[in-house]
Amino acid sequence: MDTEREKRAYLKEMGIQPWVLREKALPVVETNPPAQTGATTVENTGDDAQIALLDWNRLQKSVLACQRCDLHKTRTKTVFGSGNPNAELLIIGEAPGAEEDKQGLPFVGRAGQLLTEMLIAIGLTREQVFIANTLKCRPPNNRNPLPHEGQQCEPYLQRQVELIRPKILLALGRVAAHNILKTEESLGRLRGREHVFLNTNVIVYVTYHPAYLLRQPSEKRKAWQDLKLVRSVL
């Protein structure tokens, strides 16, 4: 195709909606991670100021090549996130687990299955939302992220929020909520309240992590209350 206009027309005929950044149409991007076969084909843009200027494709490549902390030494794959880059709902968990590290996708284990069911309960599918984590690499043995690891990954999450422009960000679990909101308040106190993501107008709500709900099924009723709140705002 010779022009961007022809390309967009072709995508429209295919029923594919291009995502738009700052009123400039861009090609549709693949939100599942590319094959991670080496750093020779990716761009390691590690400076905070540079990350803040990356478009979606270059941001994915930067995460793929990231060496901002020591987690790159033990990871199998980075986990950029998956779903709709134009989503109104952005869901953020803590960090990839063992299965996520193997597949390069977020929430693919038992907790991921429960998250899928939670979304269906409010009339959404995984393809309609975007799902990511505060960390893009798995901490060894699934330990909690260290403070400096969260700090090094934060510019990537900030840029994802800026590019996706969601209406709501839903933080799953205490660690994700603390990293996103820069607070030490308990999860119980954070739930049911409207927060704001950094210097944006993106609303943040907090609920329990699906992995916690698998261990404590009695808390599912509270999580359902949180989900209904999200649904009412959407």
Report the candidate in 81, 134, 70 with the shortest Cα–Cα distance to residue 108: 81
Out of 3.40.470.10, 3.90.950.20, 3.40.50.80, 3.90.640.10, select the CATH number for domain 37-233: 3.40.470.10
pLDDT at 44 (0 to 100): 55
Domain boundaries, the chain: 37-233
C-alpha–C-alpha distance, residues 40 and 135, integer Å: 23
Helix/strand/coil (H, E, C) string of the chain?
A: CCCHHHHHHHHHHCCCCCCEECCEECCCCCCCCCCCCCHHHCCCCCCHHHHCCCCHHHHHHHHHCCCCCHHHHCCCCCCCCEECCCCCEEEEECCCCHHHHHHCCCCCCHHHHHHHHHHHHCCCCHHHCEEEECCCCCCHHHCCCCHHHHHHHHHHHHHHHHHHCCCEEEEECHHHHHHHHCCCCCHHHHCCCCEECCCCCCEEEEECCHHHHHHCHHHHHHHHHHHHHHHHHC
Q: Which of 18, 24, 16, 145 is nearest to 79 (CA)?
A: 145
Q: What is the pLDDT of residue 174?
A: 95
**pLDDT digit string (tens) for the chain, length 234 residues:** 444 555 455 445 444 454 443 333 333 344 444 444 443 344 555 689 999 999 999 999 999 999 999 999 999 999 999 999 999 999 999 999 999 999 999 999 899 999 999 999 999 999 999 999 999 999 999 898 999 999 999 999 999 999 999 999 999 999 999 999 999 999 999 999 999 998 889 999 999 999 999 999 999 999 999 999 999 999
The pairing of beta strand 130-133 with beta strand 168-172: unpaired
What sign does the dihedral 205-173-211-63 (CA atoms) show? positive
The token duo for 123 is: 């009339």
- Check: CB of residue 172 under 8 Å from CB of residue 135: no
**pLDDT value, residue 30:** 41
Beta carbons within 10 angstroms of residue 176's beta carbon = 28
The angle that helices 147-164 and 174-181 make with each other, rounded to 10 degrees, is 70
